[in-house]
A and B are shown apart, each in its own frame.
Chain A
Amino acid sequence: MDGPLVNAPLRPDVSTTSVAEETIKAEVRGLSFFYASGMQALKSVTMSLAENKVTALIGPSGCGKSTLLRCFNRMHDLYPGNRYDGEIVIHPDGVNVLGPQVDPIEMRMRMSMVFQKPNPFPKSIYENVAYGLRVRGVKRAGLIDEQVERALTDSALWGEVKDRLQDQAYNLSGGQQQRLCIARALAVEPEILLFDEPTSALDPIATASIEELIAELRSRVTILIVTHNMQQAARVSDYTAFMYLGELVEFGDADDFFTNPKQKRTEDYITGRYG
């Protein structure tokens, strides 16, 4: 990608809203990714995540958007033979997530992921949220109680579950389970929240509550979301990136992106003219 996509002002005529003037939380630099089979899923992607903003990745199936998201928390390490080329640098410390000396487990604490289908552990509501803290070695019950309540409050679930914290998580509705997963992700106080199609298994009401939550969480955490749903990207994101065949085609301010995209391929995709 010979991309002026990131460093050029996003609105040449209104320079005040460029990502260059935001605080940058993470930078993807020339990132390529190869699956063990040799298939190249990302082709030199370069983009930035603005701090405390929502960045959405959109694109057709197989475009590499989920692959990119999973690079952030090194999920690809779980399968042998996968290979990264390039960097993902997290600020303010400037550590390269993909560096060989970096411990993926530690990285996953800094970047929590929420998946497409709610996947609570077969444990109580309370234990689901406390789990990450226990893994981290937090022992003091009072502190864990406190963190669990805060995470459940932040995920807008506390009011609904505070009297049944010992119930099995599976007894919750789909939307509640997803908010529980968000609480579980928040409990370890991550710097970046990664959402992989977080509402595609939910009904419209539950979807709306998750989107509302994303809008609220943004003030505390940087969010990167992959979504198939273009309208969702238009509703929740501050910055939007369109990927196609492993390349970043366009990245910019969401208002411009959805009303006046610069690249024809973006226009074709968001108006439903591809294929």
Chain B
Amino acid sequence: MTGQGGEFTSHFSSQFNQELENLRSRVLAMGAVVEKQIGDAVTALATGNENMARSVIGGDLHVNQLEVYLDEECRRILARRQPAAGDLRLVFAVIKAVTDIERIGDSAKSVARMAIKLIEAKPAGSVPSLQRLGELVQEMVHKAIGAFAGMDVNVALEVARADIAADDEYRSVMRTLTTRMTDDPKAIDWALNLILAARALERAGDHAKNISEYLIYLVQGKDVRHVSIEDRERQVQSHASQTTPQRND
């Protein structure tokens, strides 16, 4: 109980409380799984570790199962509890976030697949690395999930900023690879696979950004999608300065 009134304390239905708590913890668990998947996929790509890549591909099954479970759980809560206000926003945010988390899992799987292909077909000479892009995206996923865990809008805002850096890095990788393909037609096959891996990582970053937007909606009830980063920060910070948090746990 953190609010002004002091009269209200616990949820009327402790079972409902538990259901919402369970929803939140499962989303965080699913987020933790894909965070590791992305990390492992990037490592497998950098080190050429085929076993690690195969384990990422196999691990995607678990992510898919969590997606199905969480969708079902949200459907059930909507039908049986008719949540309102913060509870409604939680269920809504989870429904949206789960899709993006699952897509991050798919991206990790794509990167792992490319890692296996690239082991056989490495061209001679220096090769550009996806290390930095991988690290940036991994950090974004980590922060997006962390923002959910801590209900922290400031961390969510950092994700949007990091997405700009990730997009820049992606473009830089693309430029390097395009030049390389022009200079060395033998490397085209290899470069195309690397482009697909880079593209998958960049998409994972976009999904992390989406997740951070749902978190802002969950905490503040504000839809900050499709607005400039400056407007987003202004809106979120002005809201944070004038109101107390709405949820209690």
A231, A263, A266, A274: the one within 8 Å of B12 (CB) = A274
Task: Say whether A139 faces chain B, with CB atoms less than 8 Å apart.
Answer: no
Q: Knowing A262-B243, A264-B3 touch, does A273 contact B248 (C-beta < 8 A)? A: yes
Q: Which of B1-33 contact A (CB under 8 A)?
A: 2-5, 7-13, 16
Q: Is A264 in contact with B4, judged by CB distance below 8 angstroms? A: yes
Task: Say whether B187 faces chain A, with CB atoms less than 8 Å apart.
Answer: no
Which of chain A's residues has its CB closest to B235's CB?
Answer: A13
Q: How far is the CB of A262 from chain B (nearest CB, A)?
A: 7
Q: Is B85 in contact with A270, judged by CB distance below 8 angstroms? A: yes
Task: Say whether B77 faces chain A, with CB atoms less than 8 Å apart.
Answer: no
Task: Say whether B181 faces chain A, with CB atoms less than 8 Å apart.
Answer: no
CB-CB under 8 A from B87, the residues of chain A are: 271
CB-CB under 8 A from A268, the residues of chain B are: 3, 5, 8, 248
The distance in angstroms between the C-alpha atoms of A259 and B88, with both chains bound, is: 7
Q: How far is the CB of B76 from chain A (nearest CB, A)?
A: 17
Which of chain B's residues has its CB closest to A266's CB?
Answer: B85
Q: Is A265 in contact with B84, judged by CB distance below 8 angstroms? A: no
Q: Is B16 in contact with A258, judged by CB distance below 8 angstroms? A: no
The distance in angstroms between the C-alpha atoms of A13 and B83, with both chains bound, is: 25
Q: How far is the CB of A259 from chain B (nearest CB, A)?
A: 6
The distance in angstroms between the C-alpha atoms of A27 and B8, with both chains bound, is: 30
Task: Say whether A161 faces chain B, with CB atoms less than 8 Å apart.
Answer: no
Q: Is B82 in contact with A231, judged by CB distance below 8 angstroms? A: yes
Q: Knowing A268-B3, A272-B13, A273-B248 touch, does A258 contact B85 (C-beta < 8 A)? A: yes
Q: Is A272 in contact with B85, judged by CB distance below 8 angstroms? A: no
Q: Which of B223-249 contact A (CB under 8 A)?
A: 235, 243-244, 246-248
The distance in angstroms between the C-alpha atoms of A106 and B75, with both chains bound, is: 51
Which of chain A's residues has its CB closest to B242's CB?
Answer: A12
The distance in angstroms between the C-alpha atoms of A156 and B87, with both chains bound, is: 36
Q: Is A260 in contact with B16, judged by CB distance below 8 angstroms? A: no
The distance in angstroms between the C-alpha atoms of A264 and B248, with both chains bound, is: 9
Task: Say whether A275 faces chain B, with CB atoms less than 8 Å apart.
Answer: yes
Q: How far is the CB of A260 from chain B (nearest CB, A)?
A: 3
Q: Knowing A259-B221, A264-B244 touch, does A269 contact B8 (C-beta < 8 A)? A: yes
The distance in angstroms between the C-alpha atoms of A234 and B85, with both chains bound, is: 11
Task: Say whether A230 faces chain B, with CB atoms less than 8 Å apart.
Answer: yes
Task: Say whether B86 faces chain A, with CB atoms less than 8 Å apart.
Answer: yes
Q: Is B84 in contact with A271, judged by CB distance below 8 angstroms? A: yes
Which of chain A's residues has its CB closest to B5's CB?
Answer: A265
Which of chain B's residues has its CB closest to A256's CB?
Answer: B221
Q: Is A264 in contact with B5, judged by CB distance below 8 angstroms? A: yes
Q: How far is the CB of A273 from chain B (nearest CB, A)?
A: 5
Q: Is B3 in contact with A265, judged by CB distance below 8 angstroms? A: yes
CB-CB under 8 A from B82, the residues of chain A are: 231
Q: Is A261 in contact with B16, judged by CB distance below 8 angstroms? A: no
Q: Is A267 in contact with B85, judged by CB distance below 8 angstroms? A: yes
CB-CB under 8 A from B85, the residues of chain A are: 258-261, 266-267, 270-271
CB-CB under 8 A from B247, the residues of chain A are: 267
User: Looking at B5, B13, B84, which has the most chain A CB atoms within 10 Å of its CB?
Assistant: B84
List the interface of chain B (C-beta within 8 A of A).
2-5, 7-13, 16, 82-89, 221, 235, 243-244, 246-248
Pick 23 A–B contacts, CB within 8 A, sort by A: A258-B84, A258-B85, A259-B84, A259-B88, A259-B89, A259-B221, A260-B85, A260-B89, A261-B85, A261-B246, A262-B243, A264-B3, A265-B8, A267-B86, A267-B246, A268-B3, A272-B11, A272-B13, A273-B11, A274-B7, A274-B8, A274-B12, A275-B8
* Further pairs besides A262-B243, A267-B3, A267-B85: 8, Cβ < 8 Å: A259-B88, A260-B221, A261-B85, A270-B84, A272-B16, A273-B9, A273-B10, A274-B12
Nearest first, the 8 closest Cβ-Cβ pairs linking A and B are: A264-B3, A260-B221, A268-B8, A272-B12, A274-B8, A265-B5, A270-B84, A273-B11
